[in-house]
């Protein structure tokens, strides 16, 4: 039996950091939502009792460093599964982009193996397991739209944003999430208003969502990579309603209601940037079913 799972990317509509914790992680409050740009994960049983990663993307490790491998290993060890699996991944989400591609692959692997191995674990249990792999994995297990707190592993579902288009553009710079968190100065940072963002979601208020986009990490990344700010400015000039960097970057996203305008922004940006996508929000998580 061969089993398919979609692994959608996420964007952070709002990302705040409250303080640095004694364990080195940061206490966060993030409003996250999934977008329709997904990796495709195919799980097939193996005769050998091993985990095999197959990917044609040269930026993705095909060994125990792959987050999908870690997810399979964790499930195998926790539930003493003596079965092997091949995890074939077709990557569409750009790597190291701030879009949680690896985390979503891990989450899709947890959901898929739960079915393949008839474990009957709840999404909450899978999300808890996922938190041991990375801070974004718990959100990716559930998908949809959620408030993530703690170091990102406490998930509370939120009202999804109204339908709109998202233009994603990734500058060709590498960003280390760890470095960005390390260089964050909480006294200097501009903090988003998370309760206002949640209010806007509840009220299905598109303008309110646009007005309350904010990411405390954006200033750190743009200082290191000014091209992030340049892309943001281009997106605004070409007509995005609101723009923000996702996660620790470097991907920038723009929200827009009309499809024609989304394509105009796409065409304008293609001159400056190779990695540009026009996608829909998947805020209600339907494509995960
Ligand atoms: C930037 C975001 O992607 C926003 O969604 C997440 O906060 C980061 O999620 P992630 O990449 O899954 O993060 P992890 O793999 O758990 O951690 C990578 C590194 O980021 C830093 N980190 C991450 C999450 C957090 N709440 N505080 C941190 O300080 C830590 O230095 C950690 O070593
Ligand atoms: N399945 C995977 N897909 C992509 N990268 C992976 C995967 N497994 C491990 N990695 C490693 O993780 C690193 C970060 O990749 P990823 O695409 O998840 O970053 P990201 O989108 O910035 O994540 P986040 O938004 O959660 O911080 C890559 O450099 C890669 O070496």
Ligand 1 centroid–CA 198 distance in Å is 22
Centroid of ligand 1 to alpha carbon of 160 (angstroms)? 24
- Find how far residue 41's CA is from the centre of its chain: 16
List pLDDT tens digits, range 236-251.
999 999 999 999 999 9
DSSP 270: T
Cis link prior to 257 (omega < 30° from 0)?
no
Closest C-alpha residue for ligand 2 atom 9: 66
From atom 4 of ligand 2, which residue's Cα is the shortest distance away? Answer: 102
Which of 111, 137, 157 is at the close of a domain?
157
Q: State the pLDDT at residue 188.
A: 87
Query: Are 151 and 172 within one domain?
Result: no
Q: In this structure, are 38 and 150 located in the same domain?
A: yes
Of ligand 1's listed atoms, the one at least distance from the Cα of 26 is: 27
What distances in angstroms separate CA 27 from CA 87, 104, 186, 246, one per listed residue? 33, 21, 12, 17
pLDDT for res 287: 53
The answer to whether the annotation marks 150 as part of a ligand binding site is no
Question: Does the annotation place 276 within a ligand binding site?
Answer: no
Q: What digits encode the pLDDT tens for the residues 149-165? A: 999 999 999 999 999 99
Please tell me whether 100 is known to bind a ligand: yes
State the average pLDDT over residues 265-274: 91
Q: Is 136 a catalytic residue?
A: yes
Same domain for 198 and 142 = no
Residue nearest atom 4 in ligand 1 by C-alpha distance: 247
Q: Is the pLDDT of residue 289 over 70?
A: no
Which of 115, 110, 96, 130 minimizes the C-alpha distance to 9? 96
Same domain, 171 and 113: no
**Structural domain harbouring 28:** 3-157
201 pocket-lining for ligand 2 (C-beta < 6 Å): no
Q: Average pLDDT, whole number, for the chain?
A: 96
Strands (E) in the chain, as ranges, are 3-20, 26-46, 51-55, 84-90, 145-150, 154-157, 165-170, 214-215, 242-245, 252-256, 275-280
What pLDDT shows up at residue 32?
98
130 shares its domain with 15: yes
Domain finish residue from 157, 180, 215: 157
Q: How far apart are CA 113 and CA 288, in angstroms?
A: 14
DSSP label of 286: G
Rounded Cα–Cα distance for residues 6 and 9 (Å): 10
Confidence (pTM): 0.97
Residue 7 Cβ contacting ligand 2 at under 6 Å = no
Nearest-angstrom CA–CA distance, 219 and 226: 10
64-99 pLDDT tens trace: 999 999 999 999 999 999 999 999 999 999 999 999
Give the burial string for 17-51 (b: 16+ CB within 10 Å, else e). beeeeeeeebebbbbbbbbbbbbebebeeeeeeeb
- Domain end call among 137, 157, 177: 157
Residues 31 and 117 in one domain: yes
CATH number of residue 208's parent domain: 3.30.70.890
Q: Band the pLDDT of 1: cuts 50, 70, 90.
A: confident
């Amino acid at each position: 039996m061969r089993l398919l799972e979609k692994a959608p990317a996420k964007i952070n509509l709002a990302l705040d950091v409250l303080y640095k914790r004694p364990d080195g992680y940061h206490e966060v409050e993030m409003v996250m939502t999934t977008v329709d740009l997904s990796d495709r994960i195919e799980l097939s049983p193996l005769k050998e009792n091993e985990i095999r990663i197959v990917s044609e993307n040269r930026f993705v490790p095909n060994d125990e460093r792959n987050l999908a491998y870690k997810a399979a290993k964790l499930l195998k060890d926790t539930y003493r599964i003596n079965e092997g699996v091949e995890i074939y991944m077709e990557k569409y989400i750009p790597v190291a982009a701030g879009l949680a591609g690896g985390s979503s692959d891990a989450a899709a692997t947890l959901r898929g193996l739960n079915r393949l191995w008839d474990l009957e674990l709840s999404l909450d249990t899978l999300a808890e397991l996922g938190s041991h792999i990375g801070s974004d994995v718990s959100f990716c297990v559930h998908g949809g739209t959620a408030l993530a707190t703690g170091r990102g592993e406490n998930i509370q579902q939120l009202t999804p944003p109204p339908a709109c288009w998202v233009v994603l553009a990734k500058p060709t710079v590498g960003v280390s999430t760890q470095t960005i968190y390390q260089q964050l100065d909480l006294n200097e940072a501009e903090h988003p208003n998370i309760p206002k963002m949640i209010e806007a979601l509840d009220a299905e208020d598109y303008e309110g969502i646009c007005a309350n986009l904010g990411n405390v990490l954006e200033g750190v990344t743009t200082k290191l990579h000014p091209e992030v700010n340049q892309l943001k400015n281009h997106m605004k000039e070409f007509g995005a309603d609101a723009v923000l960097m996702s996660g620790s970057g470097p991907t920038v996203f723009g929200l827009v209601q009309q499809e024609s305008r989304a394509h105009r922004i796409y065409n304008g940006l293609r001159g400056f940037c190779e990695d540009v996508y026009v996608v829909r929000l998947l805020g209600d998580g339907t494509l995960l079913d």
